[in-house]
Amino acid sequence: MEIGTDTSKASELLQSGAVVAIPTETVYGLAANALEAQQVAQIFDLKQRPAFDPLIIHLASADDLDLYVKDRGPYFDALYKAFSPGPISYVLPKKAIIPDLVTAGHPTVAVRFPSHPLCQELLQKLDFPLAAPSANLFGRVSPTEAGHVAEQFPEEIPYILNGGPAAIGLESTIIDLSSEQPIVLRLGGLGLEEIEVVLGRPVQFTKSSSSNPKAPGMLSAHYSPGIPLVHGKIDQQIQNANRKRSGTISFCKKIAAIPEEQQRVLSPKGDLKEAASKLFSALRSFKAADVDVIFAEEFPDEGLGRAINDRLRRASVA
């Protein structure tokens, strides 16, 4: 396995059918040619991802979008103009050229246009979209640096394209534009409020049925740091815990009772964007700290704070 910044090499590997790890502004992805089911199947194998969980396809721009989707619907153009390239994925009716494996059998496909410059450079060299979920084992914390990917997959992938630390650090916000009303299916790197401003009306948030499979709790447990995590009103619980062996994740304030080196204050200046970009690294960092439990406070229920709370809630489900 090699880590480097050579998009020609990444592009050649992808064209020859390999899986390559790619940087994006949200998190690092495990990418393959989205038009070839066998190549996409390698991603599911590597991640041990269940086949009912669909992947997002990535394109440099919407120029070729109509090759892959049947209809953009009435809202796509305004959202694309405002937010793409960037941390938003659009669910649209798919054309037959997109294999069913990519969409887990859904008649719709999620499409994103990443803004990361190296990712853009790579996508522009390819004449197919990249199917890419986050480059971690299923259910674990998403990687926001090339080194996180190398740790998770030391042998299995030939190349990690290194684009530095992910600027946003949370997965994309997913909006379903395939039915009459736009519906946000996953909170992520773009706040719901910003979408509402562009559409000029309130937008519903409903968890997608694919994140809500019949076996309860399967996907509600996600982002596991490998250590029990408690999320919510934590003050009282910290008082009753073994504080020497507890870690904390807080927004801007230190937590007096906990040893400093076991605390992760995500943004001392109170900036939710900064906090979001540090969340996954913070979760990951407790592996090396000697703690038995992580207490994560509730973040403000607005903007990226809602996506942070969503990830922490799911990290708290064992």
Between the CA of residue 53 and those of 45, 96, 99, 132, what are the distances in Å? Answer: 13, 19, 14, 12
**Residues between 133 and 172 with contacts to Mg ion, criterion CB under 5 A:** 134
**Burial class of residue 227, CB neighbours in 10 A (0-12, 13-18, 19+):** middle
**Residues between 156 and 195 with contacts to ligand AMP, criterion CB under 6 A:** 171, 174, 185-186
134 binds ligand AMP (CB under 6 A): yes
Rounded CA-CA distance 3/31 in Å is 15
**According to CB under 6 A, which one of 13, 98, 110, 304 is a site residue for ligand AMP?**
110
Q: For ligand AMP, which stretch binds (CB under 6 A), given 108-116, 154-162, 245-253, 295-303?
A: 108-116
What is the nearest approach in angstroms of ligand AMP to the Cβ of residue 236?
34
Q: Are 132 and 22 contacting, i.e. CB atoms less than 8 angstroms apart?
A: yes
Q: For Mg ion, which stretch binds (CB under 5 A), given 66-74, 83-91, 132-140, 228-236?
A: 132-140
Between the CA of residue 310 and those of 3, 124, 160, 300, what are the distances in Å? Answer: 31, 33, 28, 12
Q: Are 245 and 293 contacting, i.e. CB atoms less than 8 angstroms apart?
A: yes
Q: For ligand AMP, which stretch binds (CB under 6 A), given 193-201, 206-214, 238-246, 271-279?
A: 206-214
Rounded CA-CA distance 295/143 in Å is 21
Q: Which does 210 bind (CB under 5 to 8 A by kind): ligand AMP, Mg ion, none?
A: ligand AMP
Q: Are 213 and 219 contacting, i.e. CB atoms less than 8 angstroms apart?
A: yes
Taking CB under 6 A as the rule, which mask of x and - marks residues 4-43 in contact with ligand AMP? ----------------------------------------
What is the nearest approach in angstroms of Mg ion to the Cβ of residue 141?
9
Strands 130-131 and 20-22: unpaired
Which residues fall within 8 angstroms of residue 118, CB to CB, at 6 or more apart? 5, 7, 22, 23, 161, 163
User: What's the token pair of residue 259?
Assistant: 């040893």
What is the nearest approach in angstroms of ligand AMP to the Cβ of residue 186?
6
- Compare residues 54 and 99 and give the one whose CB is closer to ligand AMP: 54
What are the residues binding Mg ion (CB under 5 A)?
134
What are the residues binding ligand AMP (CB under 6 A)?
53-56, 91, 103, 106, 108-110, 133-134, 171, 174, 185-186, 208, 210-211
